[in-house]
């Protein structure tokens, strides 16, 4: 059952178990369209994707704690290993967050798709692509609409900051920073979400 946090596709049986209802109920909801899903091609088996399940559970006020730990997911993107390590430790020690890391823009893209973070801590200067390109790419995807992006950078140029905010960042933190401040800001972001 530890898989449940990462599982992406569920069977009707698993859904019944998670939601604490009978399998028949699940099948009925599936057939009536109240639960989105798809059939395995070439068979009659029903499958339910994760976000469909989450949406269903939310709309029916079914508690999510089996599926979801309740911790917010944070993606830290920075090419400097020391920074990344520090952030990871900092956030995990806090207890409210689940942290993944990426060191390039490309990695960030892939992890975003897999991990579906709630907050992205993004360094402006990345080896392969600029921070604001990453911002724009994420904002271009409607599925990531709920994600919050915080850009962290040593650059203090107001012009550049303006550009970043225009590109889709929600916040800007200057290096070096006060760690408590950072955590507070992150927490604030996800509360709104």
Partner 1 sequence: MRERSELVLSQLDQLPTLPAVVTRLIAATTSATSDASEVVSIIETDASLTALVLRMVRRADLGVRTDAMTVSRAVSVLGFSAVRNLVLSVRVFECFHTPQGSAIDVAACRALWLHALGVACVSELLAKAAGQRDRAGDAFVAGLLHDIGKLAFCAVLPKAYARVMEDTRRDGLCVCDAERDAFGLDHTVAGKGLATRWDLPQPMIDCIWLHHQTWDSLPSGVADPFLVRVVHVADELIRARGLGFSGYESADATSRPDSDPLFSEDMIRKVMGDFPDRFEPLAAMFDLAGEGEESLSTQALLEANRELSRANAQLVERGRGLESRVRVLETLHRFHSSLRGDERVSDVCVMCVNCVCGALESDGMLLYLGDRGGRAVHAAAVRPKRAEADRLYVEAGELGDVPSARAGDAGGFRRATNVDDRIWARCGMAQATRPKWRLDIPCGANMVAALVVATDEYAIASLGFSGQDLAGLASAFAASIMSARRRVESERVAEEVIDLNRRLRGAQDELLRMQSVSMVAAMAAGAAHELNNPLSVISGRAQMELAGIDDEERREGLETIVDQTKRATGIVNDLMAFAKPNPPEPVSVPLLDLLEKRRQHCQAALDLDGERITVSVADPEATVFADPIHVRDILDAVIRNAIEAGGADSVHVQINSLSRQSDETVRIVVEDDGPGMSRSVLARALDPFFSHRPAGRGRGLGLSRAYRLAEINHGRLRIDSVLDHGTKVTIELPARP
Q: Which residues of the chain form contacts with partner 1 (CB under 8 A)?
A: 80, 82-83, 86-87, 89-90, 93, 154-159, 175-180
To the nearest whole angstrom, how small is the minimum distance from the Cβ of residue 176 to partner 1? Answer: 4
**In this complex, which beta carbon is closest to partner 1, that of residue 152 or of residue 167?**
152
- Give the Cα separation of 1 and 90 in Å (integer): 28
Measuring CA to CA, how many Å separate 29 from each of 53, 55, 66? 11, 13, 20
To the nearest whole angstrom, how small is the minimum distance from the Cβ of residue 173 to partner 1? Answer: 10
Burial annotation 138-147 (CB, 10 A radius, 16+ → b, else e): beeeeebeeb
C-beta separation of 169 from 185 below 8 A:
no
**In this complex, which beta carbon is closest to partner 1, that of residue 44 or of residue 93?**
93
**In this complex, which beta carbon is closest to partner 1, that of residue 15 or of residue 77?**
77
**In this complex, which beta carbon is closest to partner 1, that of residue 54 or of residue 90?**
90
To the nearest whole angstrom, how small is the minimum distance from the Cβ of residue 105 to partner 1? Answer: 17
**In this complex, which beta carbon is closest to partner 1, that of residue 68 or of residue 89?**
89
Helix (H, G, I), strand (E, B) or coil at 41: coil
To the nearest whole angstrom, how small is the minimum distance from the Cβ of residue 179 to partner 1? Answer: 4
C-beta separation of 98 from 71 below 8 A:
yes
> Which is nearest to 110 in space by CA: 145, 77, 63?
77
Assigned token pair, 61: 């006020």
To the nearest whole angstrom, how small is the minimum distance from the Cβ of residue 3 to partner 1? Answer: 32
């Amino acid at each position: 059952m530890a898989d449940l946090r990462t599982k992406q596709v569920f069977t009707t049986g698993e859904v019944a178990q998670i939601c604490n209802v009978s399998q028949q109920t699940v099948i009925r909801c599936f057939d009536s369209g109240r639960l989105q899903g798809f059939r395995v091609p070439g068979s009659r088996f029903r499958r339910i994707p994760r976000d469909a399940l989450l949406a269903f559970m939310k709309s029916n006020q079914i508690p999510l704690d089996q599926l979801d730990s309740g911790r917010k997911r944070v993606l830290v993107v920075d090419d400097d290993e020391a920074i990344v390590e520090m952030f990871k430790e900092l956030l995990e020690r806090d207890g409210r967050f689940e942290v993944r890391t990426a060191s390039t823009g490309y990695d960030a893209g892939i992890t975003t798709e897999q991990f579906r973070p709630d907050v992205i801590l993004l360094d402006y200067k990345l080896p392969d692509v600029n921070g604001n390109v990453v911002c724009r790419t994420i904002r271009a995807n409607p599925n990531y609409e709920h994600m919050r992006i915080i850009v962290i950078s040593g650059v203090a140029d107001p012009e550049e900051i303006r550009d970043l905010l225009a590109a889709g960042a929600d916040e800007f933190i200057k290096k070096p920073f006060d760690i408590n401040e950072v955590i507070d800001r992150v927490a604030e972001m996800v509360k709104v979400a």
